[in-house]
Amino acid sequence: MRVFIFNSFSLVLLIKIGCNEHGKQTSDYHNRTVEVKELFSITSDQNDIPEQKLTFSELGRTVVSDDGIIYSVDPWQSIIYKFDNQGNLLNTLGGEGRGPGEFQSIYGMAILDDGKLFAYDYMLARAITFQSNGEIGETITMDFSSSTKWFRMLSSNSILMPMLKNDYIIHEFDIDQQEITESLIHEADVFETDQKFSSLLSSMMEGSAIALNDNLVAYTPEVYEGEIFIYERMDNEWQMREKLSGYQNIEKSYSIHETTSETHNKASYSSIHPEGQGLIGIEIHSRSRGLYLLNNGRFAHTYWRDADDEKTSLNFVVEIFDFQKGRLEKFGVIEELNTGFPPDNDIVWVDKEGYLYVTESNNQPALKKLLVVLGMSIEEVIITIQWLRADQLWQRSRI
């Protein structure tokens, strides 16, 4: 039995899942219980290193190793903070600059198979690795002019990299060769765009991908439409194997706003109008926040969606998929994380045991580790009881 010590709140939320015009449920799920418990909260005033007196102004992009070591980026100082599995500060890496081990803009990170930290700098078009003791490793050239954020290991020496390049959106980057060696997913497979605005819409396709095993990859674009794409390597070629449906079929995942002088106030992306006059803005109604590999043949997907048609608030949703059985296993709307737009909190990581890591960027920036238990719906409980009774009758009939 595992025992946890909780230092803050413990609550059980009884949630009635509802939908606005942007989505419809794919199943009759109602009254699903979601239990949320905070394990620890990291704030700058409690995690100073006395010798350096460094405090973070914000924590953003985060990765967590299999043994619970947390790496989180302060984007304003180009510093990576390293915490142990209890949230205690161990070290700081990087810092602003152009020299060895320094950064201009840390866009993405990954934990390599050998335990090194891989950190990608968009402005300097390179990645830097760090040993577990904090020593600077190698500098890797990545001159792609890409602001990609999501990196995941595919094999011992290669990573999955979302980036729109030559009409493909997911690529395999070989760390040793320092180049793209294979392109996996074609943009036409997963996203249909309005040709008039294709250049801007393409920026929303990159999304995230994870390796489920050596020959299986899960992918979703940043604009989430309620489907996870599963690709399989067969005869040295990647082919779409299936689509896994989430709990909602999202009918309207984004809107296009054309304005004359100012960008629409709900737009996440904006650009000069392709016809040369005015601006266009892309308002996202359902935005993926990442895919994460779990134990026991499962993976998690997190996203936020508009809670209402006016976008006065956002709901965070967690979906758990069983990729061995090819289906959605469970889900929950985490009402405790509800936020306004633009969001002042975000789910930045889910570790293999299913713990959520959430950043807050309000008056007191923080990184929190949460235990979220997605309980069964009433319908599932009834079905389970009925199944157990049927199984007991069958067992008795054998005696």
Name the band, by pLDDT with cuts 50, 70 and 90, for residue 49.
Answer: low
Distance CA 70, CA 27 (A): 36
Residue 11 has pLDDT above 70, yes or no: no
Q: How much is the average pLDDT of 88-107?
A: 93
Q: What rounded mean pLDDT belongs to the chain?
A: 81
Q: What is the pLDDT of residue 166?
A: 86
230 or 361, which is more confident: 230
Distance CA 158, CA 379 (A): 44
Q: Which helix (H) or strand (E) holds 212?
A: strand 208-213
392 or 134, which is more confident: 134
Check residue 289 and give left, alpha or beta (phi > 0: left; psi -120 to 50: alpha).
Answer: alpha
Question: Amino acid identity, residue 141?
Answer: T
Q: What is the pLDDT of residue 5?
A: 34
Q: Which helix (H) or strand (E) holds 396?
A: helix 378-398
Distance CA 290, CA 288 (A): 6
pLDDT digits (tens, 9 = 90+) for 290-313: 999 999 999 999 999 999 888 899
Residue 327 has pLDDT above 60, yes or no: yes
Name the band, by pLDDT with cuts 50, 70 and 90, for residue 276.
Answer: confident
Residues 6 or more apart whose CB falls under 8 angstroms from that of 179 comprise: 173
Contact 332, 374 (CB under 8 A): yes
**Which spans in 212-287 are helix H?**
none
Query: Domain map of the chain by residue range?
Result: 254-284
